[in-house]
A = this chain, B = another copy of it.
Amino acid sequence: MEDLDDEYKNYWETTMFFQNQELEFDSWPLEEAFSGSGESSSPDGAATSPVTSKNVASERKRREKLNQRLFALRSVVPNISKLDKASVIRDSINYLQDLIDQEKKLEAEIRELESRSMLLDNPTRDYDCINNFAGNQQQDLSCINAMRSKKSRQMDYNTFGSSITRVHNHSLIEVLEANEEEKSTVETKIQTAIAAYNDPNCFINF
C-alpha cells in the first residue's frame, strides 16, 4: 500500500511519463481481481462487498485519468511555478489569459496593417478629401461637412463598431472580468477614441 503511494508521489513530483504509471497499474488488477472475485476480507476482518470493490477500482481509474489530464496540462503550459496541482491549474489559467490577450493584440495589429494596405491600394479617397479641402480653401465647415457625409461616416462607424463588438463579443470572458476601475478606464478610452473620430480635422480612415 505504501509502495503505491510512493509511486504516485514520484509520478506527480517528477517528470515521469504515463507509461510508467500505466505499468504500475498494469500490475494492480491482479490484486484487484483477487479482491473482486474472491470476496476477500480486509485486514480488520470486515467483508468487502463486490460492489464496493468495483467502486474502488472505478475510483482508482478515475483518479488516474484525472492525474493524466493534469500532467498533460502541465506539459502544455510553460513556466509552471510549482508542481502543485492547484498551482498547475493557476498557472495554466494565467497563461491562457496571456494567450488570449496576445491574440487580440495580434488581431488588432493585423487589422491595422490590412487597413493600411487598403489605403495604399486605392488612395483616391484620401486625395479626394485633400483636393476637396484644397478647393474650399477658406477652411469653413463645407470641407468638414463633405468629409462627414453620411456614407463615409457610416463606413467608418462600421469599422469602428465591429472592432468594438468583436472586443466584447469574445466569449463573454472580458465581460466577466471587468471590475469598477477597469470599467471606467475602458469608458474613458472609448470616449477619447470617439472624440478623436469626431474631430473635424481627422479625415483619416479608422
Contact = CB atoms under 8 A, between A and B. Distances in A.
Interface of A: 62, 65-66, 69-70, 72-73, 75-78, 85-86, 89-90, 92-97, 99-110, 112-114, 116-117, 119-121, 123, 125-127, 129-130, 133-134, 137, 139-140, 142-143, 145-146, 148-150, 152-154, 156-157, 159-161, 163-179, 182-183, 185-187, 189-206
Contacts of A153: 196-197, 199-200, 202, 204
A159 B113 contact: no
Contact of A70 (B89, B94, B152, B174): B89
Contacts of A69: 86, 89-90, 93
Given A89-B70, A106-B103, A130-B130, A190 B202 contact: no
B106 A106 contact: yes
A170 B73 CA distance: 16
Contacts of A199: 149, 153
A145 B201 contact: yes
Among A172, A191, A205, the one with the most B-chain Cβ atoms within 10 Å of its Cβ is: A172
Nearest to A172: B93
Contacts of A200: 150, 153-154
A97 B170 contact: yes
Contacts of A178: 167, 175-179, 182-183, 186
